[in-house]
Amino acid sequence: KAGVTQTPRYLIKTRGQQVTLSCSPISGHRSVSWYQQTPGQGLQFLFEYFSETQRNKGNFPGRFSGRQFSNSRSEMNVSTLELGDSALYLCASSQGQGAMQETQYFGPGTRLLVL
Amino acid sequence: SQKIEQNSEALNIQEGKTATLTCNYTNYSPAYLQWYRQDPGRGPVFLLLIRENEKEKRKERLKVTFDTTLKQSLFHITASQPADSATYLCALEPLASGTYKYIFGTGTRLKVLA
């Protein structure tokens, strides 16, 4: 089985722009979670989607949004980028009971640099 | 405040010894706790999941304990090898949380010396 894939792997944007990141989960997985990882704050939960619905949400501003498609693929969008949004964005998939209740498989991440 | 604490400093141990990593949490009553391994530049890799009604879980050379009274989980790697060198993260899902679902610790960097 192919693992979780994320595109693009690297991205450079400037302040004020918006960005869309994509995640393809493992085949058959219905839950996709997104995380932001920075050296200062560590790994922080953004949101979780299951069957095209946002099931859980972390403590991030509304500039961060996401969606899930019927094939379980997911995208996250960050609007009006700020310097502090520079981070590694990780996507993880699981079968569907809930990210902490079962094995989560992480993708390699998208490294975003905001200038 | 709500948080998870892991050994912030790197842990260096000799090959063949047992590495013990600590995960302490406050203000939570987690139903589940997970441990992950992360290598530089890569996504975390799931290692073990332990539930609140389980005291201990084992997988090959790995062992996790979960003490809900002490609010602590210990992660052990027996017969450690240089290939075990990585950052190890613990994560939990609070039973009753606001908007802070799925909370991760900052990780402990383990280095196994040959």
d(CA B16, CA B14): 6
Which of B42, B102, B103 comes nearest A108 by C-beta? B42
Average predicted confidence (pLDDT) for chain B: 89
* Confidence check: pLDDT of B99 > 50: no
Give the mean model confidence (pLDDT) for residues B91-95. Answer: 80
Give A24-35 pLDDT, tens digit per residue. 999 999 999 999
Nearest chain B residue (CA) to A91: B43
Chain A residues whose CB is inside 8 A of the B100 CB are: 45, 58-59
Which chain A residues touch B if contact means CB-CB below 8 Å? 4, 33, 35, 42-45, 48, 56-59, 90, 92, 98-109
Chain A residues whose CB is inside 8 A of the B49 CB are: 100-103
Nearest chain B CA: its distance from A72 CA (Å): 20
Residue A58 and residue B32: Cβ atoms within 8 Å? no
Nearest chain B CA: its distance from A37 CA (Å): 10
Give B14-60 pLDDT, tens digit per residue. 999 999 999 999 877 787 899 999 999 899 999 999 988 898 999 99
Nearest chain B residue (CA) to A47: B101
Pairing of strands B108-113, B56-59: unpaired
Residue B46 and residue A104: Cβ atoms within 8 Å? yes
d(CA B54, CA B83): 28
pLDDT computed for residue A52 by the predictor: 93
Give the mean model confidence (pLDDT) for residues B54-76. Answer: 94
Beta-carbon contacts of A45 under 8 Å, excluding residues fewer than 6 positions away, are: A33, A34, A35, A56, A58, B100, B101, B102, B103, B104
pLDDT computed for residue B1 by the predictor: 54
The more confidently predicted of residues A70 and B97 is A70
Chain B residues whose CB is inside 8 A of the A43 CB are: 44, 89, 91, 104, 107
**How confident is residue B100, by pLDDT bands cut at 50, 70 and 90?**
very low
**How confident is residue B68, by pLDDT bands cut at 50, 70 and 90?**
confident
Q: For chain A, which ranges sit under pLDDT 50?
A: none
